[in-house]
Amino acid sequence: MFQPNFKYTNKIVRLLARAQAAREVIINSPLIPAWEKQLQREALIRQTHHTTSIEGNPLTLEEVGMVIDGKDILAHEKDKKEVWNYVDVLEYIDSLEENPKITEEILLEIHRLTVKGVLPEDSAGYYRKVRVVVGNPKTGKVTYTPPGPEEVPALMKALVEWLNSEDALDLMPAVQAGITHYELARIHPFVDGNGRTARALATLILTKRGFDIKKFFALEEYYNEDRPAYYSVLANADAKAGDLTEWLEYFIFGIAVEISRVEKTVLKLSSDRSIKEKYGQIGLDTRQIKAIEYLRMKGQITNKEFQHICDVSASTAKRDLQDLVDKKVLRQVGEKGQGIYYVLNF
């Protein structure tokens, strides 16, 4: 059976405590149902965007949201399929029972859904039968040579056995998830889709083994912000004979960062009574709430200012602002051109 090599450091213990404390705040904060649904939708979009972006998918966060919403965009079919596929993966994970026995069948189904219509059918949901290398396609430099295909079935069986063992279940979900992510990436059991499968399996472990935070959480966002660091820490574990301590410090730090982001948003939404009482049942998204906060400080907001503070395109800003006007939250001043701005409608 696989036996991970790592030690608990003060940093790991501190980060685990921080993440758990933030989770408790999120779970116990009272939120309007409409806001919960909106935060879940935004997390789904962020999660799908960042996990596919890490692997080179060029679609922006906004474009991923449009694809998920069923809107047509000008993009390669493969890029859109990767988005649809990952949404299917997350829905599949959500459909599993709590504390499931994680089987090879579950893992292979996650991979099949991840690469459906992107890889040939005989590769989707099947271990590779060829040798592969990991490297930089632009330079041709090989950075890692995974185990040979003949080793993959036994290595994966050992990982799955460990995942369901008392040794694994005695660890906190974040540690289980980090170890599993690394080992699957190291084995590289598939021709393609290994990174997305590893991150999806980590999500499964977190959400189904006691670390669920109402599906507000996008695990991949932190890692996508600095992809070279993500790959570097993975590679360092290989160079250190599989010592996962540094990798786990990095992985759990990412969890702590992301859950802290969610905590701040939830605290703001649950504690700001004036927003909650006046607009709670309307179901404002976090961008719109950010715009209202800006309006309180500045008194007015333009389309350009909305773009800047929410990091969206002009068309998205226009749509969000018009939605707020339609809901009678804002009032438009001016009729056309750059002279238009918006003020609170109370």
Is 188 an active-site residue?
yes
- Contact in structure between 42 and 287 (CB atoms under 8 Å): no
Which is catalytic among the residues 50, 111, 188, 308? 188
- Contact in structure between 96 and 110 (CB atoms under 8 Å): no
Catalytic residues: 188
